[in-house]
Amino acid sequence: MTLLTVMVVDDSEADHFICNHTLKKHNSDINIIAAYDGQEALDILAAADAHPQVIFLDINMPRMNGHEFLEKYSEIYGEEKCSVVVMLTSSDQENDKEQSMAYKAVVDYFTKPLSVKAIDTLCDQNKHIYN
């Protein structure tokens, strides 16, 4: 099983490059939407017809960070059936992990760099992504 549409929210150009490469390895036809901070991600989601299957979300970002994004995102889309969120960050602080995993939408917490194996495991464990 493979992912078809994902969104990567990260302020680092280099991390986008790495993510793209890894995601393309998982599925060469994957559609990747790039956002550089929480606000931009919300703007894109608001304008889009359909939401991506998975949002890979960094924590430390300018303007609106990952935590702030999750708060807004749950506020706006809390009741709807929408994307699952996977944290993708270089922070291994327990605080960050607890705070983000508290949101219903968040299903996993990855530390950078993203690997193909992690994506596959994610797909296996979260079958509902495809529904």
Partner 1 sequence: MNPTITSQNLKTQLGTVALICVLCVTYTVFSWLGYFLVMPPGIVSVMWPSAGIALAFVYVFGSRIAAGVFLGSFLTHALRYGIPDAESFSTVLSIALGATLHAVIGGYLIRKFSSAPLHSGNLREILIFVLWGGVFACLISAVIGTFSIDRIANFSPTDFWLQLGTWWLGDTLGVIMFAPITVLFLSGASPNSGTSLRLKVMVIVPVVICIAIFAVLFDAAKKELKSHTYDEYARETASLANDFTQTLAVNITTIKATTAFLAATDKITADKFKIFTAPLLQKSKGLYGLSWLPKVDDINRGEFSQSIRDEGYPDFGIISRNSDGQLQSAPKRETYFPLAYTEPYALNKSAHGFDVYGQDGVSGDVRRSILDFAKVINKPRATSRFSIVQKQDEYGFIIYSPVFKKMETNKLEHVGYINGIFVYPDLVKSIEEKLASADSNFYLIELRGNKPPLVLYDSRTADKKEGLIESYDLKDVNYTSHSVNVAGQIWQMVFTKNGQLITGDYLRSLWFFAIGGTIFTLLLFIILTMISARNESVEKLVSLRTEELNRANEELEEFAYRTSHDLRSPIVSSVQLLNLADDAIKDNETEFASKSIAHAKQSLGKLETLISDILTLTEIGSQNESEAILDVAKAVDEALAKLDHADGFHRLKVIKEISLEGSVIIKPSRFKLILENLISNATKYQDPKKEEPFLKISCFSTGNNLHLHVSDNGLGIDPRYQKQMFEMFKRFHPKVAVGSGLGLYLMRKSAHILGGDIEYVPLEDGSLFKLVVPARLANKGDRN
Nearest-approach distance from CB 62 to partner 1, in angstroms: 3
Establish if 46 lies at the interface with partner 1 (CB under 8 A).
no
CA distance 78 to 1: 26
Which helix (DSSP H) or strand (DSSP E) does residue 77 occupy?
Answer: helix 66-77
Nearest-approach distance from CB 92 to partner 1, in angstroms: 9
Q: Which residues of 112-129 are buried (b: 16+ CB within 10 A; e: fewer)?
A: bebeeebbeebbeeeeeb
Nearest-approach distance from CB 17 to partner 1, in angstroms: 5
Establish if 130 lies at the interface with partner 1 (CB under 8 A).
no
Q: Figure out which of the listed residues 5, 27, 91, 99 binds partner 1, where binding follows CB under 8 A.
A: 91
Establish if 117 lies at the interface with partner 1 (CB under 8 A).
no
CB 66 within 8 A of CB 97: no
Nearest-approach distance from CB 95 to partner 1, in angstroms: 8
Alpha-carbon distances, residue 49 vs 32, 45, 52 (angstroms)? 15, 8, 10
- Residue numbers at the binding site for partner 1 (CB under 8 A): 11-15, 17-18, 21, 36-37, 59-63, 89-91, 93, 112-113
